[in-house]
Structure 1
Amino acid sequence: MKFSELEVSEEIRKATDRMGFTEMTPIQEQAIPVAKTGVDLIGQAQTGTGKTTAFGIPMIESADPSNYDIQGVVITPTRELAIQNAQELNALGYYKKVRTAAIYGGQDIQRQIRDLKKRPSIISATPGRLLDHIKRRTIRLDQIKIIVLDEADEMLNMGFIDDIHEILENTPEERQTLLFSATMPRPIQVLAEKFMRDPKKVQIKAKTLTVSLIEQNFVKVKEPDKFDALTRFLDIQMPERAIVFGRTKRRVDELMRALQKRGYEAEGIHGDLTQSKRDLVLRRFKQNEVKLLVATDVAARGLDISNVTHVYNFDLPQDPESYVHRIGRTGRAGKTGLALTFITPNEFPHLRSIERLTKQPMKQVSAPSYEEALAGQQKVAVDTLRSSLEKDNYHAYEAKAQELLSNNDAEDVVAAALKVLTKEPDTTPVRLTREAPLMVKRNSHHSQQHGSRGKGFYSRSREFEHRQNSGYRGRGRQRSQHF
């Protein structure tokens, strides 16, 4: 089903056109018409299936921008998802003038309070920071019409289930509740039974993955060495058109500047770009004015780009499904493609979870040395010279060639020409802010059964990082004043 066939307001239709949406995903096609009727809904679908738009369109449609109360809340497990959801909701609400604010831990709370004074209609929040605002009375949920629990099973996994109960108890009984989850462990079922009224259920099965035309490789590399490894692969592989994926907007900006500093034609795209800048970047990439597009997952959603020869996963995505979405940018229309993923030593469990999903093992390759990268660029120079000879368009330079040969050895002249043509690997120092490695869940079955916050479910470092990102400080303990 196409978005143009959906019964929505003209403002929503214009917004989806502006965002480049044409075909609806299965979760969007099934969930939007049900949610628009105002009933409670449980949507079971994997990450990366278009859930934000599935709940976003009903939220925007029900919101009244002239009403200064908060009318909708989306609760998500991580700050990254809170920001991504807010960006997409703002894009959907652009013509209706429905504004969404992102509320999450790790950002100055006073800045968020100032943003809340601008009266957003919707907030996209992590549980810990949302509770902070509720207790400060800077957010009131007594007038909300709709609440969304996004990735509910992940919030359970991260120990937020009690916070979710507390938040829902602060909302009106006469509200619409939409719950989205990839799995339905018992604690999530209990949550639904307690807080939802006769919910309709929509379940989308994961699609069969077709990645057979894509050569999938990975390279094991330490975080500080990743950028040098990337540039050496670029020097050897010489992609005609490639996408480099970073996990965060900061990473994309830093990668783009670092690549440009070393002489590569690169542009970046992420959710903070204006529509005009986004259009300019995509136009330059499509017209081969730049060969490298550095992007976040959310910015790459829905991009209509063909002839991508290489995908480089500089950072692992948050989930295996996003990996499939990323590499699907290449290997299209019967053409082969290459996907290369950079793995730090403690991210191997995440790599294995990706292989289980794709049912295809990745081949390990070694990071090239400087000498190998130089040899790759020298080959390009030789090929360029040979191509010029074949074109037979160099006769205007024969007099100069004879002049050079009269005073120099022919081998020296050719060597000098090749050196001029060769883009020698640039070793200009660059510095990228370190991104914490991803860790996969452990003892998943046991923890989902018991809703445990216990040890061994997440590595301690990753659990701390997630909770810091989401403003979580633990129940029954004093909350930190550092935001």
Structure 2
Amino acid sequence: MTFKDFNFKEQLQNAIDHAGFKEPSPIQSEAIPIVLEGKDMVGQAHTGTGKTAAFGLPIINMMEGQKGVEAVVIVPTRELAMQVSDELFRFGKNLNLNTATVYGGQSYSIQLRNIDRASIIVATPGRFLDLLRSGKINIKPSFVVLDEADEMLDMGFLDDIKEVFTFLPKERQTLLFSATMPQAIKNLAKTILKEPEFVTLTKKDVTNSKITQTYYVVDERERDDALIRLYDFKAPTKSIIFCRTKKEVDRLSTFLVSQGYMAKGLHGDMEQRQREEAIRAFKTSKLEILIATDVAARGLDVNDVSHVFNYHLPFDSESYVHRIGRTGRAGKLGVAVSIVTPHEFRMLQKIEKNIGTKLEGKIIPNIDSVKVKKTADLKGKITGQEIKDYALELVEDLKSEFDIDTIAAKLASMLASSTYVKGNDRIGKSESDILRLIENAPRGDDRGGRGRGGYRGGNRGGRSGGRDNRSGGRPSGDRNRSGRSDNRSGGRPSGDRERSGRSDNRSGGDRNRRRD
């Protein structure tokens, strides 16, 4: 299925093509036809599954383009309001549809001026209710969307939302999206929706199939070294690193900048201006790396994030899905990497169980492996480099002082500095260590304790929940020795080696076991 199958207006389809969207995501495939039929809908889906397009595209297609506000989207945070507004404007600009963003902390007069010119309002509940109560706006939208409804419940906006709907026309199409469905959200849906259709992503749809999910096991003291080594090896074009705390975001951003990376933090204690600047710089590729907390990155919508790194695992499966949903967007491939310690291994298995996906365990590449890859990448760049006239002039100038071999050697020496690899040769656990963690992990039920911040939705006593798919759950790797994957019996863990060099870290693994 492609977006052309929905028979959108030509101007809208052109905007979709320009954005690079090709195949609809599962939530889009199911939701768009329902919305186009004019029905109310409840969609249970996580951030990163394509919800904005799922409601935005059909609404824009049905809008008449008359003067005045035709659609309202209510979201929990100002960051998400800006992201949704930007995306809807991108889709609707060929149809001359404008959007207005409404949230606290901005001038009323500016927002009112924008509303006067807008067809779509994207608003946070508090400021939107202020405008309605005061009579500063009097709108009759045909379409109303509640996005991230459970997040608004957690933030205490439920009463505000109920009051907002007393100001809106009864004849409208209403859509509600929520990652989870607590009873309070179900009750709200009964109040504001009329005979809604329900769309729920199954477990297999929770995580994007275009995202490769891997994990690496290290000692706690090795997290920074492991992160740098993985960056050296994977060479992300644009990436987000997720931390649990604001303090960790600040520390890690300082550390990465000191290592020469273009990185910046993003968390709730930063001033709004600083947060907007960081997001803008990241979107325009002035930043390579954004280091963020879960809350700060909620709703962050950047289509060209190549990698997501979990510096620490999140405390629950939903946060994990939110995080990795930042990559693999708009039909592109993405990579999600988690750095875990042996003590976090149980949490990793709970996440796997709840999302219905097995992550691939790998060992961190050693220095030789990274050098080989960096050298191969450099050779590829040299081979593909077009020869410029000014470069020939430079070589002719240098030939007055050096022979051609010396010139080549000097230039190669300058370029080869990019293949230098920092840190210890061996970082993290070996293949045998990871296999031992898998073998010794509790199987079947979850009665052995929730662990710190464990997911509360565990299946107590449910041995039918499986034995952790022992054969399918063994980590495997990418040695690619003569095309072989080394996945003989479910896949033994291996590093991102791309050469023949064996390195199962046996001696290092023994030392690590004694330390643990």
TM-score (norm 1): 0.59
- Structure 1 position 313, deviation (Å): 4.3
- Structure 1 position 242, deviation (Å): 4.9
Q: Does 1:47 align with 2:47?
A: yes
The answer as to whether partners of 1:323 and 1:354 remain within 8 angstroms in 2 is no
- Structure 1 position 212, deviation (Å): 11
Counterpart residue type for residue 233 of structure 1: R
Seen in structure 2, the aligned counterparts of structure 1 residues 316 and 132 have a Cα distance that, compared at 3 Å, is: farther
**Distance (whole Å) between structure 1 residues aligned to residue 37 and residue 18 of structure 2:** 25
Q: Which runs of 5+ in 2 are unaligned?
A: 244-248, 265-276, 292-296, 380-401, 424-451, 459-516
Counterpart in the other structure of 2:202: 205
> What is the DSSP-based 3-state SS (H/G/I as helix, E as strand, rest coil) of the residue aligned with 1:47?
coil
| Cα distance per residue 1:267-317 (max 9 Å; x no partner) | 9x997589xx96xx69xxxxxxx9x6769775444x5x9xx7x65346989
* Counterpart mapping for 1:66-215 below 5 A: 66-67=66-67, 69-105=68-104, 107-110=105-108, 112-113=110-111, 115-141=113-139, 143-207=140-204, 214-215=213-214
Counterpart in the other structure of 1:62: 62
Counterpart residue type for residue 322 of structure 1: H
Counterpart in the other structure of 2:319: 319
**Distance (whole Å) between structure 2 residues aligned to residue 15 and residue 72 of structure 1:** 19
- Structure 1 position 123, deviation (Å): 1.2
**Farther off after superposition, 91-100 or 117-126:** 117-126
**Distance (whole Å) between structure 2 residues aligned to residue 244 and residue 207 of structure 1:** 25
Counterpart residue type for residue 109 of structure 1: S
Counterpart in the other structure of 2:240: 245
Counterpart residue type for residue 103 of structure 2: Y
- Structure 1 position 80, deviation (Å): 2.7
Counterpart residue type for residue 206 of structure 1: K
The answer as to whether partners of 1:40 and 1:177 remain within 8 angstroms in 2 is yes
Seen in structure 2, the aligned counterparts of structure 1 residues 377 and 229 have a Cα distance that, compared at 3 Å, is: same
- Structure 1 position 28, deviation (Å): 1.4
> What is the DSSP-based 3-state SS (H/G/I as helix, E as strand, rest coil) of the residue aligned with 1:70?
coil
TM-score (norm 2): 0.55
**Distance (whole Å) between structure 2 residues aligned to residue 9 and residue 382 of structure 1:** 47
Seen in structure 2, the aligned counterparts of structure 1 residues 47 and 350 have a Cα distance that, compared at 3 Å, is: farther
**Distance (whole Å) between structure 2 residues aligned to residue 260 and residue 28 of structure 1:** 39
Counterpart in the other structure of 1:18: 18
The answer as to whether partners of 1:218 and 1:362 remain within 8 angstroms in 2 is no
**Distance (whole Å) between structure 2 residues aligned to residue 363 and residue 246 of structure 1:** 19
- RMSD over aligned Cα atoms: 5.5
The answer as to whether partners of 1:271 and 1:299 remain within 8 angstroms in 2 is no
* Counterpart mapping for 1:222-371 below 5 A: 232-233=228-229, 237-245=232-240, 272=280, 298-301=300-303, 303=304, 311-313=308-310, 319-325=319-325, 339-341=337-339, 354-358=351-355, 360=358
Seen in structure 2, the aligned counterparts of structure 1 residues 232 and 118 have a Cα distance that, compared at 3 Å, is: same
- Structure 1 position 182, deviation (Å): 3.0
> What is the DSSP-based 3-state SS (H/G/I as helix, E as strand, rest coil) of the residue aligned with 1:148?
strand
Identity within the alignment, %: 33
Q: Which runs of 5+ in 1 are unaligned?
A: 283-289, 367-372, 389-393, 402-415, 427-438, 446-483
**Distance (whole Å) between structure 2 residues aligned to residue 418 and residue 56 of structure 1:** 47
> What is the DSSP-based 3-state SS (H/G/I as helix, E as strand, rest coil) of the residue aligned with 1:238?
helix
Seen in structure 2, the aligned counterparts of structure 1 residues 99 and 441 have a Cα distance that, compared at 3 Å, is: farther
> What is the DSSP-based 3-state SS (H/G/I as helix, E as strand, rest coil) of the residue aligned with 2:93?
coil
| Cα distance per residue 1:193-251 (max 9 Å; x no partner) | 222222223333232666997431377989xx99x76874367x433445421579xxx
Seen in structure 2, the aligned counterparts of structure 1 residues 79 and 221 have a Cα distance that, compared at 3 Å, is: farther
